[in-house]
């Protein structure tokens, strides 16, 4: 799509995106197409807000709250950290003013070797893995107390029986939600979990446009949804998905894992979403965000507070962004679990790490 008249697209930011979606409907609007749509949509809303001199949430009908509550993360069980490390991180998170935490307490059950990896992509939880998950979550609950809000992310990994067993084992922890217990391809699998556990469920990170949510919402398979503004189609689509969930009294908690622009875009939308739960963040990344945007978000007491600045409310510091540019053609930038290069460490290869790797 070639934008030849920016004024037209500032005043009508949806028209071009509708064309893009339907032009590529053979892909059902999922994956990289919706990612591209998201980037364009967010950029157009930012331009429109700055042209008109107002925050994006004013263009969405105005704010329905004074600030946006956040939830953050501590380590996952699959990471090389002990329970003591996780507990220490939880205490720091509480001290930083946050009152909601998510973690994945389940160790990976995949056989991570060079051969036959596809056979272990759908994981089976062993009794030992479930016991270790319970120990992890009990320690976290004891640390934060009974009123603190906790969520578990299963990362869409388990077969149905394992997902149910894991949920039942954690019911006593009093979770806000149990996220993506089964693989995203099957609503029937999700329904089986729904019918066999009392833990509230959440999906959405691996769902994209509003059409992905129709059956999930109509069949009330979950209690929360978490679209990602940078994946689902942008601010426009996130607002539509939230509106679909609102009359069903299902709360929205946008997934945010892509950096400060995505968090800013979600924040602007969340300010105008009545059925918001919280916005996701990894607050320990905020120090890095300060290097590449101005001004940094006003984060106090576990909330982002509005600055009133137009558009997204931020500007990129382009010379600093360039320092984090990824060389996608270098195998050193590939994740460790799919990297064919021996000795790869799974870190993104950027200009910052070029000296470490001996290149550049």
Specify the pLDDT at position 325.
83
Residue 83 tokens read as: 């329970």
How much is the average pLDDT of 184-196?
A: 95
Cα-atom radius of gyration of the chain, to the nearest Å? 21
Q: How does residue 34 score in pLDDT terms, banded at 50, 70 and 90?
A: confident
Q: Where in the chain are the domains?
A: 59-111+120-316, 325-357
Output the CA torsion sign for 5, 9, 11, 16: positive
How much is the average pLDDT of 287-306?
A: 96
How much is the average pLDDT of 299-303?
A: 97
First-residue to last-residue Cα distance in the chain: 35
Asked if residues 189 and 182 have their Cβ atoms less than 8 Å apart, the reply is: yes
| pTM metric for this prediction | 0.86
d(CA 271, CA 66): 8
Backbone angles phi, psi at 136, to 5 degrees: -60, -50
d(CA 163, CA 156): 9
The angle at the Cα of 281, spanning 162 to 36, to the nearest 5 degrees, equals 90
Tell me which fold the domain 59-111+120-316 belongs to.
TIM Barrel (3.20.20)
- For residue 45, give the nearest of 59, 33, 34 by alpha carbon: 59
pLDDT at 342 over 50: no
Query: pLDDT for 258-294, tens place per residue?
Result: 799 999 999 999 999 999 999 999 999 999 999 999 9
Asked if residues 136 and 150 have their Cβ atoms less than 8 Å apart, the reply is: no
Region of 204 on the Ramachandran plot (φ > 0 left; ψ -120 to 50 alpha; else beta): left
Output the CA torsion sign for 45, 46, 48, 52: positive
Query: pLDDT for 130-152, tens place per residue?
Result: 999 999 999 999 999 999 999 99
Q: Please tell me what DSSP assigns to residue 298.
A: E
Query: pLDDT for 79-125, tens place per residue?
Result: 889 999 999 999 999 999 999 999 999 998 877 655 656 677 889 99
d(CA 109, CA 121): 9
d(CA 180, CA 222): 10
Specify the pLDDT at position 26.
52
């Amino acid at each position: 799509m070639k934008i030849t008249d920016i004024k037209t697209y500032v005043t009508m930011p949806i028209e071009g995106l509708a064309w893009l979606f339907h032009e590529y409907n053979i892909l059902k609007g999922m994956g990289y197409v919706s990612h591209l749509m998201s980037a364009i949509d967010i950029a157009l809303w930012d331009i429109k807000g700055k042209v008109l001199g107002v925050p994006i949430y004013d263009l969405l009908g105005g704010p329905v709250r004074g600030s946006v509550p956040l939830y953050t993360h501590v380590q996952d069980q699959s990471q090389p950290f002990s329970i003591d490390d996780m507990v220490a991180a939880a205490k720091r998170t509480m001290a930083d003013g946050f009152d909601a935490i998510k973690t994945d307490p389940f160790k990976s059950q995949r056989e991570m070797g060079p051969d036959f990896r596809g056979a272990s992509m759908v994981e089976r939880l062993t009794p030992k893995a479930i016991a270790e998950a319970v120990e992890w979550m009990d320690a976290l609950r004891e640390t934060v107390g009974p009123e603190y809000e906790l969520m578990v992310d299963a990362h869409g990994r388990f077969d149905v029986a394992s997902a149910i067993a894991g949920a039942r084992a954690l019911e006593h922890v009093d979770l806000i939600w149990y996220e993506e217990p089964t693989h995203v391809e099957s609503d029937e699998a999700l329904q089986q979990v729904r019918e066999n556990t009392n833990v509230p469920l959440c999906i959405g990170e691996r769902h994209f446009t509003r059409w992905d949510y129709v059956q999930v919402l109509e069949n009330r398979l979950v209690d929360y949804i978490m679209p990602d503004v940078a994946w689902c189609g942008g601010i426009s689509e996130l607002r539509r998905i939230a509106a679909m969930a609102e009359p069903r009294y299902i709360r929205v908690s946008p997934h945010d894992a892509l950096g400060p622009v995505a968090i800013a875009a979600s924040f602007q939308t969340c300010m105008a979403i009545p059925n918001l739960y919280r916005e996701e963040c990894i607050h320990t990344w905020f120090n890095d965000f300060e290097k590449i945007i101005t001004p940094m978000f006003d984060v106090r007491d576990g909330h982002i507070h509005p600055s009133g600045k137009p558009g997204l409310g931020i500007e990129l510091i382009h010379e600093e962004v360039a320092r984090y540019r990824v060389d996608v053609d270098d195998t050193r930038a590939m994740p460790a679990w799919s990297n064919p290069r021996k000795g790869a460490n799974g870190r993104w290869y950027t200009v910052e790490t070029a000296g470490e790797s001996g290149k550049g």
